[in-house]
């Protein structure tokens, strides 16, 4: 398929892909750290409730925390070992959150235990949703939203299309690419579960044109009787944003402040779908995830299946970094977050660990900020047609409610396109994050 005939959306940007170092590297198992730190909180919802105590021995795969609320999920031991303590640990948000610290047994085979499999043919949609929750599966594309919660369809809503997001448009990241190549059968099996659970009539697997081998791998295992098709998209950022996917492939516009469900669509990340297919068919919980470890400062780049709870410091020691290491991102450089501590553990939403040198850090945004010159580049880049320049001036004046009520601030999904193209190097998306947080705080009081 010609690149010019592939589907896409209006606006967006074309940052350097920087995927060549890892896209051809098969997934490898990462070693266990001396201590694994399993946070009980995910990005949304209430933290899980520990079901183990300090000093207790646990087996790999054993449930160590139960859900505590609608958006809460189960947690499992990534390794057989001893619970050394239950206490606070640093998180990517900058806050200390409760976590379970497990010291893996040295020399253990780490074979673990499996739970009950969920029989696709016999299970009801409700049973599939509960099995996904019990397995602790969340969105592995970075958002970390509980997968079971997406499948709780509110009364009056219905789903006709399940979208599988394999775009992976962030620079450096190739984890989803490798999952699609190496776990195509798991993805198709996962789609079966998701279609039955949601009541969807068809599934669309979205892959960017720079991953033709991934599109071919999935097409090769598609049973002819299943209503699944693979669509190839033009290479552009943020093609992987669910609103952009829906617009590009289905021609539907998700309404302001709305969700894909409002237009009959549910979106799931390719790696999340693979885990649904793998874990539900064999039983067990989410214990590890595939992570791209790369960037100019990493010596042993690759795609690794990393045990959840692996401290970032241990991971970087194992892959070795150069002396001029300056910045470490969890996720990609566009939507990921630079870390303030190397004691943060790898979580379920960690798509990549990207380590940059001082030179690369400066190139990506370390330059001094200058006044806005009203060039309009940010307007041409914004994929949802906001006016970032005007929003920034309102943010500087502290008019957060005006931004939300009259200028659609809350529709911004923080892709970073505006910041990327700004010749004045204004950290626009960071200002918008602060403003959105202020709006949410005001709404909660």
Q: Are residues 265 and 147 in the same domain?
A: yes
Look up the domain containing 420 and give its range.
377-444
Evaluate whether 42 touches 69 at the Cβ level (below 8 Å).
no
Task: Write the CA distances from 36 to 249, 370, 442, integer angstroms.
Answer: 41, 43, 37
CA–chain centroid gap for 17, Å, is 18
State how far the Cα of 140 lies from the Cα of 289, in Å rounded to an integer. Answer: 8
Number of domain units in the chain: 2
| Tokens 């400062």 sit on residue | 297
* Beta bridge partner(s), residue 265: 161
Is residue 290 assigned to a domain?
no
State how far the Cα of 59 lies from the Cα of 288, in Å rounded to an integer. Answer: 15
Q: Six-digit token pair at 10?
A: 């209006």
| Short-list 316, 353, 319, 360, CA closest to 338 | 353
Domain harbouring 182, CATH code: 3.40.50.11540
Return phi, psi of residue 265, to 5°.
-125, 145
Which of these three, 240, 265, 282, is where a domain ends?
A: 282
Is residue 106 assigned to a domain?
no
Is residue 398 assigned to a domain?
yes
- Output the pLDDT for position 93: 78
Is residue 249 assigned to a domain?
yes
State how far the Cα of 291 lies from the Cα of 310, in Å rounded to an integer. Answer: 11
CA geometry: angle 209, 210, 211, nearest 5 deg = 90
What's the predicted TM-score (pTM) here?
Answer: 0.94
* 251 burial level (CB within 10 Å; 0-12, 13-18, 19+): exposed
| Short-list 351, 367, 336, CA closest to 430 | 336
Q: Are residues 14 and 143 in the same domain?
A: yes
Q: Are residues 17 and 144 in the same domain?
A: yes
State how far the Cα of 245 lies from the Cα of 256, in Å rounded to an integer. Answer: 16
Which of these three, 282, 310, 326, is where a domain ends?
A: 282
- Output the pLDDT for position 423: 94
**The CA-based dihedral angle spanning residues 233, 238, 240, 246, taken in that order and rounded to the nearest 10 degrees:** -70
3-state SS, residue 130: helix
Q: Are residues 13 and 156 in the same domain?
A: yes
- Output the pLDDT for position 356: 94
Task: List, for residues 112-165, the tens digit of each pLDDT value.
Answer: 888 889 999 999 999 999 999 999 999 999 888 999 999 999 999 999 999 999
CA–chain centroid gap for 377, Å, is 28
State how far the Cα of 425 lies from the Cα of 415, in Å rounded to an integer. Answer: 16
Which of these three, 282, 298, 315, is where a domain ends?
A: 282
Q: Six-digit token pair at 264?
A: 């009959």
* 384 burial level (CB within 10 Å; 0-12, 13-18, 19+): buried
State how far the Cα of 208 lies from the Cα of 253, in Å rounded to an integer. Answer: 20
Is residue 206 assigned to a domain?
yes
State how far the Cα of 183 lies from the Cα of 190, in Å rounded to an integer. Answer: 10
Evaluate whether 206 touches 182 at the Cβ level (below 8 Å).
no
Task: Write the CA distances from 66 to 37, 48, 59, 172, 247, integer angstroms.
Answer: 17, 5, 16, 35, 37
Is residue 13 assigned to a domain?
yes
| Tokens 């949601």 sit on residue | 198
State how far the Cα of 248 lies from the Cα of 261, in Å rounded to an integer. Answer: 16
Neighbours of 221 (CB within 10 A): 12
Is residue 369 assigned to a domain?
no
Is residue 146 assigned to a domain?
yes
* 156 burial level (CB within 10 Å; 0-12, 13-18, 19+): exposed
Neighbours of 402 (CB within 10 A): 15
Q: Are residues 259 and 385 in the same domain?
A: no
> Omega before 238 cis (within 30°)?
yes
Q: Six-digit token pair at 30?
A: 């990462």
Q: Are residues 161 and 12 in the same domain?
A: yes
Neighbours of 252 (CB within 10 A): 15
The residue ranges of the chain whose pLDDT is under 70 are 1-6, 364-366
Q: Are residues 146 and 268 in the same domain?
A: yes
Q: Are residues 143 and 266 in the same domain?
A: yes
């Amino acid at each position: 398929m010609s690149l010019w005939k592939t589907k896409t959306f209006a606006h967006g940007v074309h940052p350097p892909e920087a995927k060549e170092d890892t896209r051809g590297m098969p997934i490898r198992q990462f070693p266990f750290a001396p201590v694994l730190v399993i946070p009980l909180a995910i990005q949304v919802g209430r933290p899980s409730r520990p079901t183990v105590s300090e000093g207790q021995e646990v087996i790999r795969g054993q449930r160590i925390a139960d859900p505590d609320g609608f958006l809460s999920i189960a947690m499992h031991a990534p390794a057989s070992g001893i619970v050394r303590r239950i206490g606070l640990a640093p998180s990517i948000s900058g806050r200390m959150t409760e976590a379970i610290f497990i010291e893996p047994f040295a020399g253990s085979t780490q074979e673990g235990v499996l739970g009950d499999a969920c029989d696709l043919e016999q299970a009801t949609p409700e049973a599939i949703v509960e099995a996904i929750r019990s397995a602790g599966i969340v969105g592995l594309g970075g958002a970390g939203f509980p997968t079971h919660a997406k499948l709780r369809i509110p009364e009056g809503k219905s789903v006709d299309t399940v979208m599988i997001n394999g775009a992976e448009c962030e620079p450096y990241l190739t984890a989803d690419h490798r999952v699609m190549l190496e776990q195509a059968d798991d993805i198709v099996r996962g789609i079966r579960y998701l279609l039955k659970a949601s009541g969807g009539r068809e599934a669309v697997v979205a892959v960017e044109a720079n991953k033709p081998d991934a599109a071919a791998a999935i097409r090769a295992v598609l049973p002819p009787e299943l209503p699944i098709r693979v669509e190839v998209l033009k290479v552009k950022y943020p093609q992987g944003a669910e609103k952009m996917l829906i617009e590009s492939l289905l021609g539907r516009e998700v309404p302001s402040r709305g969700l894909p469900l409002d237009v009959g669509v549910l979106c799931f990340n390719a790696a999340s779908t693979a885990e649904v297919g793998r874990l539900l068919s064999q039983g067990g919980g989410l214990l590890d995830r595939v992570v791209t470890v790369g960037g100019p400062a990493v010596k042993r780049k690759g795609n690794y299946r990393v045990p959840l709870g692996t401290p970032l410091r241990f991971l970087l020691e194992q892959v070795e970094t150069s002396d001029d290491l300056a910045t470490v991102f969890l996720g990609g450089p566009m939507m990921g977050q630079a870390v303030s501590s190397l004691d943060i553990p790898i979580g379920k939403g960690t798509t990549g660990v990207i380590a940059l040198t001082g030179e690369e850090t400066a190139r990506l945004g370390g330059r001094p900020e200058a006044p806005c010159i009203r060039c309009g580049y940010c307007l041409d880049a914004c994929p949802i047609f906001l006016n970032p320049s005007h929003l920034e001036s309102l943010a500087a004046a502290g008019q957060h409610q005006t931004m939300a009520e009259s200028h659609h601030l809350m529709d911004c999904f923080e892709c970073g396109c505006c910041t990327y193209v700004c010749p004045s190097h204004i950290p626009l998306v960071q200002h918008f994050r602060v403003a959105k947080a202020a709006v949410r705080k005001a709404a909660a009081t």
